[in-house]
Amino acid sequence: MDMEARSLPADKARSLASKVKEYKADLASLREQLKQAAATAGASDAARAELGLGGDYYSTSAGQRDRMLQSTERLQKTSERLQLGKQQLAETEELGVTILGDLARQRETIVHARDTLHGADDNISKARRVLSSMSKRVIANKIIMFGISAFLLLGIILIIYYRVKG
């Protein structure tokens, strides 16, 4: 019982540990009284009275029996409470295992999403480089087109100028 009380949460363990100590002390005193009663079984009533066990052997024995029954009842109640605590601990442990499983699955999902995002980021970087290259080619093509257009326009103007002059 003492070990089970220690395995519970601190607030419950303290109260149960103090009760266990109290029960142990009660049990030790009852055992001591039982030893004294057994030792004085053959002694006279005066000797029993001197030990504080009362004058009548049967009433003393019945009193001890009642105290033992009460102590046994308290121990049974404590055992039941400890059993209930043990059951709650098992349920809590089962819940913890379930939560850990859920967290593991969520972690796998997050890792998979992160890997997917890294892949998408790599693809975006490649696309950005391709678009940058295409943009440079478009600008170069426009410059070449404007150069050719200017050259042709200059050629047309020169042809018209020499025909009109000549």
Residues 120-158 pLDDT 10s: 999 999 999 999 999 999 999 999 999 999 999 999 999
Percent of the chain residues topping a pLDDT of 70: 83
Report whether 103 contacts 111 (CB < 8 A). no
Report whether 78 contacts 23 (CB < 8 A). yes
Report whether 41 contacts 47 (CB < 8 A). no
Report whether 20 contacts 78 (CB < 8 A). yes
Write out the two tokens for 155: 């050629």
Mean pLDDT, to the nearest integer, of 96-105? 93
Let me know if 94 is exposed, middle or buried by CB neighbors in 10 A (0-12, 13-18, 19+). exposed
pLDDT of 118 > 90? The answer is yes
pLDDT in tens, 38-66: 776 655 455 545 555 444 544 567 778 88
For the whole model, what pTM was predicted?
Answer: 0.40
Distance CA 29, CA 17 (A): 18
- Please report which confidence band the pLDDT of residue 32 belongs to, taking 50, 70 and 90 as the band edges: confident
| Segments making up each domain of the chain, as ranges | 2-154
Q: What is the pLDDT of residue 41?
A: 64
Residues contacting 49, CB < 8 A, separation 6+: 55
